């Protein structure tokens, strides 16, 4: 359901300022890893324009609507994800939900990520998740309308 709102114009130069973390993630990660992180972080934040974008991108990458919904609510479907996928989703959760704690990314999770993914991929995921969170906050603050996103379907707008 798209809330009734008046969109606020976002100059392209502002949007462009937040693009480097996303580009870094795309350059360094397997696309599935990036989609996992982006879809999950955006589901937590509830940004409707980013939800439309990340659902569309995941669909265009070959993901089914059912799989996208499972990623968005992964803790209800945890047994259906591989150890690596669950780790990426846990990183997205932890970095997105900071919980006002100084140790929001616990050493245990950091070390599991390094052991499973390696340092470069772990760092790229963190940078990408931070970038997704920034875009989510922009989309919410500027009340961006997901119906303005190219190539979205009814599913993307739910």
| Short-list 35, 88, 93, CA closest to 60 | 35
Q: Count CB atoms within 10 A of the CB of residue 118.
A: 11
Q: Which residues, given as ranges, of the chain have pLDDT below 70?
A: 1-5, 100
**Block residue for tokens 């245990």:** 108
The pLDDT score that the predictor gives to residue 123 is 97
pTM: 0.92
Measured between alpha carbons, how far is 33 from 66 in angstroms, rounded to an integer? 17
The pLDDT score that the predictor gives to residue 98 is 82
7 sits in the region (left: phi over 0; alpha: psi -120 to 50; else beta) called beta
The pLDDT score that the predictor gives to residue 8 is 81
Report the share of the chain in percent with pLDDT over 90.
85
Domains observed in the chain: 30-142 (1.20.1290.10)
The pLDDT score that the predictor gives to residue 66 is 98
């Amino acid at each position: 359901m798209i809330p009734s709102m008046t969109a606020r114009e976002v100059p392209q130069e502002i949007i462009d300022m937040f693009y480097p973390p996303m580009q870094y993630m795309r350059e360094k990660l397997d696309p599935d890893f990036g989609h996992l992180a982006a879809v999950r972080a955006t589901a937590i934040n509830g940004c409707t324009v980013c939800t439309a974008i990340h659902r569309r991108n995941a669909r265009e990458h070959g993901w089914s609507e059912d799989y996208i919904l499972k990623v968005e609510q992964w803790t209800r479907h945890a047994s259906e994800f591989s150890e690596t996928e669950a780790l990426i989703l846990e990183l997205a959760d932890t970095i997105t939900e900071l919980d006002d704690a100084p140790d929001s990314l616990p050493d245990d999770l950091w070390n599991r990520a390094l052991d499973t993914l390696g340092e470069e991929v772990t760092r790229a995921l963190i940078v990408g998740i931070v970038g997704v969170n920034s875009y989510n906050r922009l989309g919410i603050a500027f009340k961006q309308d997901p119906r303005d996103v190219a190539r979205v379907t009814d599913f993307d707008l739910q």
